[in-house]
């Protein structure tokens, strides 16, 4: 059995210390070690983007990243966004605009949208297309996903004004 390495990561605000094999993928670490199965693995080689998480705020494919590389990093997954009865504005927008069908690519899409809207609260269509351009969706044809991200920007502005 390969030797293990001790890592400390903060995932969705919770600090975890684990001993992991150096070859363990970050996606498998999140899913199997921490039971955070919201992050999906579609292709396991960086093509589909379903496994995208935010690593220190940057959208990262967790299937192309080793868990040991995330040592001392802060990770955000789809589980950090909202709950079924209290959706995050991006999730709410995807629901309203039918930005998902089977839902398998959705966690990756959501995390890309979150990263975009933090940096650019008023993205134009081109910026949205660019932000989700590395993620595959086989159901929607993308148009509703783009509409959902536009709607998410509106919802976030409405919330900011209301606050």
- List residues near other proteins by CB under 8 A: 1, 21, 23-24, 31, 35-45, 48, 50, 77-79, 81-85, 87, 91, 94-96, 98, 100-107, 110, 136-139
Q: Which helix (H) or strand (E) holds 5?
A: strand 5-11
| Closer of 12 and 122 to other proteins (Cβ) | 12
- Shortest Å, Cβ 46 to other proteins: 11
Quick one: angle between helices 143-162 and 89-96, nearest 10? 130
Shortest distance (Å) from residue 31 CB to other proteins: 8
Give the pairing type, strands 14-20 and 5-11: antiparallel
Query: Cβ 79 to other proteins, closest distance in Å?
Result: 5
The end-to-end CA distance of the chain, in Å, is: 54
């Amino acid at each position: 059995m390969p030797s293990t390495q001790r890592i400390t990561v903060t995932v969705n605000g919770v600090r975890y210390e684990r001993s992991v094999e150096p070859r363990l993928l970050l996606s498998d670490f999140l899913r199997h070690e921490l039971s955070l199965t919201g992050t999906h693995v579609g292709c396991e080689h960086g093509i589909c983007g379903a496994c995208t998480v935010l690593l220190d705020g940057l959208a990262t494919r967790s299937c192309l990243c080793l868990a040991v590389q995330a040592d001392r990093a802060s990770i955000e997954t789809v589980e950090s966004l909202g709950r079924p009865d209290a959706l995050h504005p991006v999730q709410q927008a995807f629901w309203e605009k039918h930005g998902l069908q089977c839902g398998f690519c959705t966690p990756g899409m959501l995390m890309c949208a979150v990263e975009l809207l933090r940096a650019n609260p008023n993205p134009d269509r081109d910026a949205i297309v660019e932000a989700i351009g590395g993620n595959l969706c086989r159901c929607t044809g993308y148009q509703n996903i783009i509409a959902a991200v536009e709607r998410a920007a509106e919802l976030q502005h409405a919330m900011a004004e209301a606050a």
